[in-house]
Amino acid sequence: MDLLNQHSNRSNPLGEDFDYRKEFSKLDYSALKGDLKALLTDSQPWWPADWGSYVGLFIRMAWHGAGTYRSIDGRGGAGRGQQRFAPLNSWPDNVSLDKARRLLWPIKQKYGQKISWADLFILAGNVALENSGFRTFGFGAGREDVWEPDLDVNWGDEKAWVDSPTP
C-alpha cells in the first residue's frame, strides 16, 4: 500500500497547499543565474575545482539526472530531484555528485522553495554549458521536488554493477 501513497500532498513537508509554480514566480531568476555563474569558479578547499572550474561537474550532474529517464514507462529523469536519495545518490556512475549537490546547498538555502532541487540541478548544468560558450535553448522550469525516494526503483543489483567489467 505504501506505493499507492508515495508523494501524496498529505505527507508533503511543505504543506498540502504548496504551489511550486507560485513560488517560482517570486524568484529573482537573473540573480540565481548570477550566483550559479559565480559558483562555477569559486573553488572550495574541500573539493577543489578542476582547473579552477566546476563546469564539468555541474554538466555531469545534470546529465546523470536526465540520464535516468526511461522511455519505456516515462519514469526516472531529472524531473523530481530524486538524485538526492538512495539508491540513485550511491550508484557507482554518480560518484562525487554529492559534492556538486553540496556546492549548490548555499544557493538552495538562499532561494529556498522558490527553486526546486530538480530545477536547480538542471539549471546549474545549463549555466555551466552557457558559461562554456554553448548556446542553449533556454531553461524550462517546473520540476517539482519529491521529498522521499521512490519505493519502486529496481535497477538491478548494485553489487553486480560494481563487479562487472567495464569496456
Q: Poorest-confidence range of 16-30, 49-63, 64-78, 85-99?
A: 64-78
pLDDT of residue 12: 73
> Does any domain span residue 143?
yes
pLDDT of residue 163: 64
Query: Which residue range(s) make up the domain with 43?
Result: 19-149
pLDDT of residue 51: 96
- Measured CA to CA, the distance from residue 141 to residue 122 in angstroms comes to 9
7 given a catalytic annotation: no
> Does any domain span residue 159?
no
> Does any domain span residue 8?
no
Number of domains making up the chain: 1
Residue 25: which CATH number?
Answer: 1.10.520.10
> Does any domain span residue 62?
yes
> Does any domain span residue 29?
yes
pTM of the model: 0.85
52 vs 66: which has the higher pLDDT: 52
Q: What is the three-state SS of the chain?
A: CHHHHCCCHHHCCCCCCCCHHHHHCCCCHHHHHHHHHHHCCCCECCECCECCECHHHHHHHHHHHHCCCECCCCECCCCCCHHHCCCHHHCHHHCCHHHHHHHHHHHHHHHHHHCCHHHHHHHHHHHHHHHCCCCCCCCCCCCCCCCCCCCCCCCCCHHHHHHCCCC
Mean pLDDT of the chain: 87
> Does any domain span residue 47?
yes
> Does any domain span residue 97?
yes
> Does any domain span residue 157?
no
Name the catalytic one among 32, 54, 64, 68. 64
CA angle 65, 150, 72 (to 5 degrees): 65
In tens, the pLDDT along 76-114 reads 778 888 888 887 788 888 899 999 999 999 999 999 999
